C-alpha cells in the first residue's frame, strides 16, 4: 500500500498481541486454519490493544473453511423446513425453507443441463423477488459466479458489466426485457442465454425462469468447491469514484459474514424482516436476506420504495426487523403519512450504506416511541460488514464483528490511538479475494498483510465503538481543516424544517473549499438561508460553518443504496 495514499477516517478498537497469521490473499486450503480465532483475546477485557488495534466485544467463533455456501444454507433449510422463508408482498407468493432448498436444487440441475459449469458467470438484472435467493443458491451449488446488476442501470452500464464479467447468461425482470434485448443483440457480448422472471411477450430468445423451476432435479451436479478460494458472488462497486470494479467474494467470505452478523444481531422464527433494500447490493444480499435465514426468520420482499406500500408492509406483515438506509429513516422521522399507520410491531431498525446522524436517530425514536431500537451497520462491497452497533449509541456504527480486526491510520499509514481521526482499515475473513481482472486496484486497496483500506474516515472511542464520519474523497478542505459533509448533513437534518440535505465543497481561491448546503425544505416550510446559517453556526466550530451558503433545491439525487450523488449536484449547481 502506498504511504502517500490519501487517508480515510473511521473508529475501531481491537486488542491484538500480533497480527493474524492468515490473510485473505495468502490463505490456501493446505495452510488455512479451520477458523479465524485468536484465543488470546478471550481473557482480556480491553477491546483496544497497546498497538491500537481494535477487536470485537464478542469472543471469536468457529468459521469452517470447508463448507460451500449452498451446503451451509441447505442445512438451515432442513432445520426450519416448514417455516416460511420468503414472501412477495404484492403477489403473496411464498416459499418455505424446505421449498427454497427444493427450488434451488431444481434450478441448479437446470443450469447444469443447459451447460453451465464451475467458473461460468451469470448476471441478474432485476429488482427484489422471491426467486433471487433461489438463483443465488443454485449458482453456489453449481460453482457458477453470481453477478448482480443494479436494475436501474442504463444500457451502457449494463453492457459494460456484462462485457467485463464475461457473463454467459442474463436473468431479468419482464419490465427490463427491452433493455436487455437491445444490449445483447446489438452489442458485443459473450451472453448465450436469456432468462426472464415472468414472460417476455413480443421478444424472442427469452426463456421463462419457470423452465428451470420445472426441472426434475436429476442433473444436480456434484461440484468440487474450495470455499476459501472459489468465487461465489461478483457484485460491482458503486463506481461513484470511478468505473465500477468487479468484487470477488468467495463462498467463505459470504458464509463468514452471515455468521458474523448473526452473532451480533441474532434473529428467530418470530422475526419478520422487510426486504426492501435492493438485493443487487451487498447489504441487501447478506444483512437483509441470508443472515436472517440463519435464525429461521422470514423476509417479505418489496421491489421498490413507495411510501404507502412501504408503510402498509410494515403494518400489515407485522414487520419486526427493518433494514433501512438514511433516506428511509428521514422518511420515518419527518413524513406526515407515517402517523396514519401502526408501526408498533417494528422492534429493531438497522441502518446502513451511509452515516446516520445522532439527531436524526433521536428524532425517529421520539416518533416511534414504542421502544424500537436503532442500530447502524458499516460495510462496503469489498469488506461486506466488519462493524455493527448493538449498543444503540447514536452516531456510532458499533463494535467490530467477531473474528475481525480494525484500526485507524493517518496519511503515513501509522495506526492512531482512540479519538484521533483517520482512515478505517479492516482485516478479517469477510474481506474480498480481490477485484476481478484488476490486480493493480486490488494491491492498492489490500496490503500484503491482509489489511484493507476502506476509504472511510472516522475514529474509535475509548470503549471500542467505531464512528464513521465520511468518505475520504468527499471530505471538504477549508484552510487545511477537514470538514466532513456527513456531519453537517446530520446536523441540518435535525432542523424541523429540513426534509433532506447534501453538503458539498465550493472551490475558493483563498480558502480551498467552502461548505455549501443544498437543502430540500419540508412541505409548507418558510425557512430561509439566514436561519439555517445561524442554526449551523450556533452548533459547530468556526471552520465548519456554511461559508458557501445555502441553496434550496427540489430533491437530493441518491443511488439505490441511499448514498448522495454529489457529482450530479456539483455538475448541476456548482
Q: Given pLDDT bands bounded at 50, 70 and 90, which one contains residue 152?
A: confident
Residue 481 has pLDDT above 80, yes or no: no
Q: How far apart are CA 229 and CA 28, in angstroms?
A: 7
> pTM for the full model?
0.82
Are 278 and 560 in contact, with CB atoms under 8 Å apart?
yes
- Give residue 50's pLDDT: 93
Helix (H/G/I), strand (E/B), else coil: 66: coil
**Range 430-451 average pLDDT:** 94
Helices and strands (DSSP H and E) totals, the chain = 16, 26
Instruction: Tell how strand 512-521 and strand 498-508 pair up.
Output: antiparallel
- Give residue 10's pLDDT: 31
Inter-CA distances, 291 with 12, 196, 263, 384, Å: 23, 27, 10, 12
Q: How far apart are CA 264 and CA 448, in angstroms?
A: 29
Residue 154 has pLDDT above 70, yes or no: yes
Residue 30 has pLDDT above 70, yes or no: no
Closest CA to 122 of 167, 70, 163: 167
Could you report the per-residue pLDDT of 36-49, keeping only the tens digit for each?
Answer: 333 333 323 489 99
Could you report the per-residue pLDDT of 362-397, keeping only the tens digit for each?
Answer: 999 999 999 999 999 999 899 999 999 999 998 899
- Give residue 112's pLDDT: 98
The dihedral through the CA atoms of 268, 274, 279, 281 has a sign that is: negative
**Range 423-444 average pLDDT:** 95
Which grid cell sits at 72? 451451509
Which grid cell sits at 220? 444436480
Q: Give the count of alpha carbons within 13 A of 365, CB side only.
A: 16
Q: How far apart are CA 249 and CA 232, in angstroms?
A: 6
Could you report the per-residue pLDDT of 84-96, keeping only the tens digit for each?
Answer: 999 999 999 999 9
Are 495 and 546 in contact, with CB atoms under 8 Å apart?
no
Instruction: Please spell the DSSP secondary structure of 413-474, one letter per residue.
Output: -PBPPTT--EEEEEESTTS-SEETT-HHHHHHHB-TTS-EEEEEEEEE-TTS-EEEEEEGGG
DSSP alpha helix (H) spans, 265-306: 282, 291-293
DSSP state of 226: -
- Give residue 56's pLDDT: 96
Which grid cell sits at 391? 449498543
Are 14 and 56 in contact, with CB atoms under 8 Å apart?
yes
Instruction: Tell how strand 405-409 and strand 422-427 pair up.
Output: antiparallel
- Give residue 88's pLDDT: 97
Instruction: Tell how strand 348-351 and strand 321-324 pair up.
Output: parallel
| Residues above pLDDT 90, as percent of the chain | 75
Q: What is the mean pLDDT of the chain?
A: 88
Q: How far apart are CA 18 and CA 38, in angstroms?
A: 10
- Structural domains of the chain in order of their starting residue, each with its CATH number: 96-224 (3.40.50.980), 476-573 (3.30.300.30)
Closest CA to 390 of 403, 405, 373, 371: 373
Residue 28 has pLDDT above 60, yes or no: no
Residue 515 has pLDDT above 80, yes or no: yes
**Which residues touch 541 (CB under 8 Å, ≥6 apart)?**
none
Q: How far apart are CA 249 and CA 235, in angstroms?
A: 8
Q: How far apart are CA 549 and CA 244, in angstroms?
A: 33
Q: Which residue's C-alpha cell is 421491489?
A: 303
Are 172 and 126 in contact, with CB atoms under 8 Å apart?
yes
Instruction: Tell how strand 193-197 and strand 169-173 pair up.
Output: parallel
- Give residue 150's pLDDT: 87
**Range 2-19 average pLDDT:** 30
Amino acid at each position: 500500500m502506498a504511504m502517500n495514499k490519501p487517508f480515510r477516517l473511521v473508529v475501531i478498537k481491537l486488542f491484538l498481541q500480533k497480527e493474524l497469521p492468515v490473510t485473505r490473499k495468502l490463505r490456501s486450503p493446505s495452510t488455512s486454519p479451520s477458523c479465524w480465532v485468536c484465543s488470546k483475546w478471550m481473557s482480556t477485557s480491553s477491546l483496544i490493544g497497546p498497538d491500537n488495534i481494535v477487536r470485537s466485544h464478542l469472543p471469536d467463533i468457529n468459521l469452517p473453511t470447508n463448507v460451500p455456501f449452498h451446503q451451509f444454507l441447505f442445512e438451515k433449510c432442513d432445520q426450519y423446513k416448514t417455516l416460511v422463508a420468503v414472501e412477495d408482498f404484492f403477489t403473496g407468493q411464498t416459499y418455505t425453507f424446505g421449498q427454497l432448498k427444493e427450488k434451488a436444487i431444481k434450478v441448479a440441475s437446470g443450469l447444469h443441463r443447459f451447460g453451465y459449469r464451475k467458473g461460468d458467470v451469470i448476471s441478474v438484472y432485476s429488482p427484489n423477488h422471491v426467486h433471487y435467493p433461489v438463483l443465488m443458491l443454485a449458482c453456489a451449488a453449481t460453482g457458477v459466479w453470481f453477478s448482480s446488476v443494479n436494475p436501474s442501470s442504463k444500457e451502457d452500464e449494463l453492457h459494460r458489466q456484462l462485457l467485463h464479467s464475461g457473463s454467459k447468461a442474463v436473468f431479468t425482470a419482464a419490465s427490463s426485457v427491452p433493455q436487455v434485448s437491445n444490449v445483447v443483440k446489438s452489442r458485443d457480448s459473450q451472453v448465450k442465454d436469456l432468462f426472464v422472471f415472468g414472460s417476455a411477450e413480443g421478444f424472442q430468445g427469452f426463456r421463462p425462469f419457470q423452465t428451470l423451476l420445472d426441472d426434475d432435479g436429476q442433473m444436480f451436479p456434484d461440484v468440487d468447491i474450495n470455499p476459501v478460494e472459489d468465487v461465489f458472488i461478483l457484485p460491482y462497486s458503486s463506481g461513484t469514484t470511478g468505473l465500477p470494479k468487479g468484487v470477488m467474494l468467495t463462498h467463505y467470505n459470504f458464509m463468514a459474514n452471515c455468521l458474523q452478523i448473526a452473532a451480533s444481531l441474532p434473529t428467530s422464527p418470530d422475526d419478520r424482516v422487510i426486504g426492501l433494500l435492493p438485493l443487487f447490493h451487498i447489504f441487501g444480499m447478506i444483512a437483509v436476506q441470508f443472515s436472517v435465514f440463519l435464525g429461521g426468520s422470514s423476509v417479505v420482499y418489496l421491489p421498490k420504495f413507495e411510501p404507502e406500500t412501504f408503510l402498509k408492509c410494515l403494518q400489515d406483515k407485522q414487520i419486526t426487523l427493518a433494514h433501512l438506509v438514511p433516506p428511509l429513516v428521514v422518511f420515518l422521522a419527518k413524513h406526515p403519512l407515517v402517523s396514519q399507520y401502526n408501526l408498533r410491531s417494528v422492534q429493531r431498525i438497522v441502518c446502513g450504506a451511509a452515516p446516520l446522524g445522532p439527531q436524526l436517530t433521536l428524532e425517529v425514536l421520539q416518533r416511534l416511541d414504542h421502544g424500537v431500537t436503532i442500530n447502524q451497520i458499516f460495510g462496503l462491497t469489498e469488506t461486506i460488514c466488519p462493524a455493527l452497533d448493538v449498543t444503540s449509541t447514536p452516531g456510532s456504527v458499533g463494535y467490530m464483528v467477531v473474528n475481525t480486526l480494525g484500526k485507524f491510520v493517518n496519511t503515513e499509514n501509522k495506526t492512531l490511538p482512540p479519538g484521533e481521526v483517520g482512515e478505517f482499515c479492516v482485516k478479517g475473513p469477510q474481506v474480498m479475494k480481490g477485484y476481478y481482472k484488476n490486480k493493480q486496484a486490488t494491491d492498492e486497496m489490500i496490503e500484503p498483510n491482509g489489511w484493507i483500506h476502506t476509504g472511510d474516515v472516522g475514529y474509535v472511542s475509548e470503549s471500542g465503538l467505531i464512528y464513521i464520519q465520511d468518505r475520504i474523497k468527499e471530505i471538504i478542505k477549508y484552510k487545511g481543516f477537514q470538514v466532513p459533509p456527513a456531519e453537517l448533513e446530520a446536523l441540518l437534518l435535525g432542523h424541523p424544517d429540513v426534509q433532506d440535505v447534501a453538503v458539498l465543497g465550493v472551490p475558493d481561491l483563498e480558502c480551498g473549499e467552502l461548505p455549501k448546503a443544498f437543502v430540500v425544505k419540508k412541505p409548507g416550510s418558510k425557512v430561509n438561508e439566514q436561519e439555517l446559517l445561524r442554526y449551523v453556526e450556533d452548533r459547530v466550530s468556526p471552520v465548519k460553518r456554511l461559508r458557501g451558503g445555502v441553496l434550496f433545491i427540489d430533491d437530493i439525487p441518491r443511488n439505490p443504496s441511499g448514498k448522495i450523488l454529489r457529482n450530479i449536484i456539483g455538475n448541476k449547481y456548482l
